[in-house]
Amino acid sequence: MLQIFHVPRTRSLRVVWLAEEMRIPYELKPETFGQQSDDFVQANPVGSLPAIVDGDVAMGESIAIMHYLTERYGPTPLARRLGEPRYCQYLQYLVAGEGSMAAFLNPILATQFRAPEDQRQNVTVDLAKAIFLRRVNALEPLLAKHDYLVGDFTAADISVGFALGMGTALGLEAQYPATARAYLERLLARPAHQRAASV
């Protein structure tokens, strides 16, 4: 059975959410920051969340895990495949949710929780916020036409939705365009997200 190593409100939420959407049976393996289990470190020696074990497969990158799950347990309407309409758009936003969005929030998080009080506002934090918010604003033309990034809900929305939620936790939601705020509300209201967020 698929095992998902998980800490709430971390990138492992993406994996749990996708498993819930796809109705993939899984075993949740709760972890604690700074006290990683031996099984977790064996699955992902980098020591960062998420991590999965699925038979002989062990992985530790959330977007790669999402792609693996849609391939391994698909086909699914939550993924587009090469040759299908909007495949390239799907693939772009699946990756962009981390590479172009959530990754830029890491310096803000690290500074907020680890830097001395008088160093929490700095050029790096300001630049990271500006880059993230440019990416959020770039979603507006798509979200003005469709409820979801590729038309119908897909794993790309989970990827981007997690990034938007992370930005919200950092107090950036007030700077999102109205379309992005409404989009995030739609995502958070999905029953599979609510189940994933409750574990």
Q: What is the pLDDT of residues 82-94, one digit of tens each?
A: 999 999 999 999 9
Q: What is the pLDDT of residues 130-184, one digit of tens each?
A: 999 999 999 999 999 999 999 999 999 999 999 999 999 999 999 999 999 999 9
pLDDT band for 119, please (50, 70, 90 cuts).
Answer: confident
Residue 114 parent element (H or E): helix 106-114
How far is residue 161's CA from residue 194's CA, in Å, rounded to a whole number? Answer: 13
Question: Which of these, 137, 23, 156, lies nearest to 87 by C-alpha position?
Answer: 156
Could you confirm whether domain 2-76 is CATH 3.40.30.10? yes
CATH class of 87-193: mainly alpha
Paired with 53 in beta bridges are 3, 58
Q: Is the pLDDT of residue 110 over 80?
A: yes
Q: What is the pLDDT of residues 37-62, one digit of tens each?
A: 999 999 999 999 999 999 999 999 99
Domain range summary for the chain, segments of one domain joined by +: 2-76, 87-193
